[in-house]
Amino acid sequence: MGFPNERAPRDYNMGIFWALKLKLRGMIDIQLIRSDPEGVLRRLRRRDGSIDLDTILELDSKRRELVRRVEGLRRERNLGSEEVARLQREGKREEAQALISHLREVSAELKELERELDEVEEELREELLSLPNIPHDSVPDGPEKVVLREWGRKPEFDFEPKNHVELGKFLGILDFERAAKMTAARFPLYVGPGAVMEFELLLWMFELHVREHGYIPVLPPILANRRSFEVSGQLPKFADELYHCPDDDLFLNPTAESLLVNLHRDEILSEDDLPLRYVAYTPCFRREAGTWGEAQRGLIRMHQFNKVELFHYTTPERSYGDLEELVRHAEVILQRLGLHYRVTLLPADDLAQQSAKTVDIEVWLPAQGRYYEVSSCSNCEDYQARRGNIRFRPRGGGKPRFVHTLNGSGLATSRLFAAILEQNQRPDGSVVLPEVLAERVGEGVLEPG
């Protein structure tokens, strides 16, 4: 089990070539915007009514005119150089010198136009990078998400259920006060059986996806460079949400998706290797700027949390079938733990920047009387692949095509941990662990120590 190993050197070199050639196509295809601006704008405005393509279209028109002029001057310079050589061979020194003087003027003009072209291309690139993905036609308009299905029964209590923060403190397994003293608010501290439970949850989920679902295991770096986050879609638009190490210009990952999408950056895969499915564990870090209410305390909205991430590279023809499979793989975790949850389809105005379609899995928290997302499973189609120049060579031959990328949590432990405590609590504050977890933790009931 490992990375696909049919990597011909020619494909790698061509990947570098295309990474340079496609620098303006590493997001929504500029040719699509150019050919159908009204259609693209109409679909994008399902996500955000303020989106405008006028600047992009103006820059694209200016760029194409500059390219035409630059190519014309380069052609004139090259032909002129050949003519100078001919004149010199024939001893026509005065004519040659006059042409040389003219070519100097051509070169100066060319240098200025190339500088202007670089500036326009960079400005156009920034505008294109800021555009979100086009929502799939099956995605509903807002504002409400669509409930697709529920699993299991909501737990019912003949007592007032406690919040997981109260339960964690009572059982001595969560200590938010000391975590805040060490770091700041919104960071977790797992203690005793809580720390064991967190580790066992992560290891169990990781192993399940490898052994039962056939994912390739990966333990990636926690930090990644700016280019990686441009490919994933976090940069440049969401820089304020990332933890940044400025001396090295490296970012702490908010999700392993940001890392896994860069595994095959600037590569050409074989269709025979697809789909490629990876599972990774990482701690995740998010600034989560904004104000939070009582319902967001504890493990609900953290600056740091642990997550098992699922990631697919696949073909356009099968990507939506793979999305359904990805959702099922994430659901298995909650089903094995016996937790009540529901599956929802997000509306267009609630999609992440890179997503064309997202299905959320939401677990029930009794103390809050509401559902919380524990996995967002998204099909990004070729949005990230264009940014990262990730393509595949069709089995029947022909021009390489962009892959489709999919991602989803399988799962994040913070809200999962909270749901295990809240759905399985007893009147005395003890918690009965799900059987699959009790076997790994070594005790079936959590009680105050």
In DSSP terms, 312 is beta-bridged to: 277, 406
Residue 232 annotated to the active site: no
Closest Cα to residue 242, out of 232, 231, 229?
Answer: 229
Give the active site residue among 286, 342, 387, 391. 286
Give the active site residue among 25, 47, 63, 415. 415
What is the Cα–Cα distance from 374 to 416, expressed in whole angstroms? 7
Query: Cα–Cα distances in Å, from 197 out to 248, 412, 441?
Result: 35, 14, 6
Count Cβ atoms below 10 Å from residue 357 Cβ, excluding itself: 23
Give the active site residue among 121, 150, 373, 447. 373
Residue 138 annotated to the active site: no
The DSSP output letter for 190 is B
Buried b (16+ CB within 10 A) or exposed e, 178-213: ebeeeeeebebbbbebbebbbebbbebbbebbeeeb
Angle between helix 413-423 and helix 319-337 axes, rounded to 10 deg? 40
What is the Cα–Cα distance from 39 to 158, expressed in whole angstroms? 55
Pairing outcome for strands 250-252 and 357-365: unpaired
Give the active site residue among 376, 378, 409, 414. 376
Buried b (16+ CB within 10 A) or exposed e, 238-265: beeebeeeeeeebbbbbbbbbbbbbbbb
Query: Cα–Cα distances in Å, from 245 out to 260, 263, 379?
Result: 20, 22, 30
Residue 301 annotated to the active site: yes
Query: Cα–Cα distances in Å, from 270 out to 246, 267, 439?
Result: 37, 10, 42
8 Å CB contact between 41 and 53: yes
Residue 415 annotated to the active site: yes
Mention every residue, 6+ apart, whose C-beta is less than 8 A from residue 10: none
Q: Which structure tokens are listed for 399? A: 């021009």
Mention every residue, 6+ apart, whose C-beta is less than 8 A from residue 322: 275, 312, 314, 379, 404, 406
Count Cβ atoms below 10 Å from residue 225 Cβ, excluding itself: 13
8 Å CB contact between 339 and 420: yes
Residue 74 annotated to the active site: no
Please calculate the CA angle 254-242-175 and round it to the nearest 5 degrees: 65
What is the Cα–Cα distance from 319 to 136, expressed in whole angstroms? 12
Give the active site residue among 43, 63, 301, 342. 301
Count Cβ atoms below 10 Å from residue 175 Cβ, excluding itself: 18
What is the set of active-site residues? 286, 301, 373, 376, 415
